[in-house]
Amino acid sequence: MAWYETYKIGCGMRTDCLESDPRFKYMLYIVCHYDPGGNMLNDPIYESGEPCSKCKRYPGSKCEKNLCAGGGPAVYCKDFYNNCNTLQQYCRMTTLPQDFKESLKKGCNKTCHYCTPI
């Protein structure tokens, strides 16, 4: 299951991880990555509303079977972290470690002005 904000999903599957142990002969491993990720504390897992009422949020999406399909934002302007106001002081610093800067871009892209609102 993916959260309503997720617009990219990539999954992989593997069956041969524990071939040497007969108890796991028919075991299947599936791992998925979501962008943006969900399951953030205090974030809703969905938005209530009429089916397809938010499809226009993403250019090129259309309504199929009461779900938005296709399209997707080049950059979606939303803060995903709850503490972006606190982190705002770091937005324009040039001496940040790269991983912290990438985290800000993904988590506070609206507050830090890394995107253009749709």
- Bridge partner residues of 63 (DSSP): 68
Q: With a threshold of 0.75, does the pTM exceed it?
A: no
Mean pLDDT of 16-43: 75
The DSSP letter of residue 79 is B
Strand 67-69 relative to strand 8-14, pairing = unpaired
Question: What is the band of 116 on the pLDDT scale with cuts at 50, 70, 90?
Answer: low
The DSSP letter of residue 19 is T
Whether residue 61 contacts residue 55, with contact meaning beta carbons closer than 8 Å, is answered with yes
Residue 48: count other Cβ atoms within 10 Å of its Cβ: 6
* Alpha-carbon gap, residue 54 to 63, rounded angstroms: 10
